[in-house]
Structure 1
Amino acid sequence: STLGDKPDHLNRPVSFRFIHFLIHSLLHFLYDRNYFSDDDLKQHFKLPTNTYFYDHFEKDYDLLCQTSIDPQQCYIWLYKLLNHLIDDEFNKQGLLNTNENIIEIEQLIEQKLIFKHINSIDNEIIEYKKAYAEYIQKQQT
């Protein structure tokens, strides 16, 4: 996959990449915590290696970081996006059991999360670092 990949229902490749990053990180976590076995990966998922989810997580992360002026700091922007995912607007009832439901949640993430923060990645990294430093300082006093 490349940085420019995206499905038709999303407007920006970074949205697609972030969603893939989430999916691969969750699937890797489930495998790492033994919710999936090696046999599950080979027989049910038809994956070539047991590092598939981790490898794709790493690739997604690398591609996401290419969207930032400072790729070494993009993890801060990702933390901010992940923090916003717990906001009420992302708390939706239902199942992701149809293509329509999946498209709906992917478009919600793109419109309410990615679009809201994409134009200011580098400024938000600076702001987030400052807020985190202030938080740590308060915790230490």
Structure 2
Amino acid sequence: MTRNGFTLIELMVVIVIVSVITAILVPNYQSYKRKNNEHIALQALGNIAMELEKNKERNFSFDGYSLSLDQRTIPAGKTGDEVKYKVFMDKTLQTWTVYACINDTLPDAAKYKNFAKLNDGRECEWSGSCILPAGCK
């Protein structure tokens, strides 16, 4: 008698193996995506900081610089749930702080960090609400 196909035990073993591999890979992929979004936010803050310093060289102050619409969200120009970070800026004539806060409506928002850059070269990161910590002011 010839066998055509697999036994139930063979199929169950394959399903268990695929399930274990999936259970390992999915959290790692989600962590990779989260870290990638955080690096994109840091890069965007660095670009804004560079533009602010260029503005100061031209005008001797940070006055007159404002965030463009594309700079206010990360990824640029997205709306709704597509927005990962919202970017804010506080500036005076001689100082500035730019910060990126995670979009609270994301299902995994609690796993993300918020970031800030200050004109004196300091960088901060924190979790939770979009309020700058006291040590970052």
Bigger strand share: 2
- Structure number with bigger Rg: 2
Q: Give yes or no for TM over 0.5.
A: no
Superposition TM-score, scaled by structure 1 size: 0.29
Superposition TM-score, scaled by structure 2 size: 0.29
Name the structure, 1 or 2, with higher relative contact order (CA <8 Å, separation 6+).
1
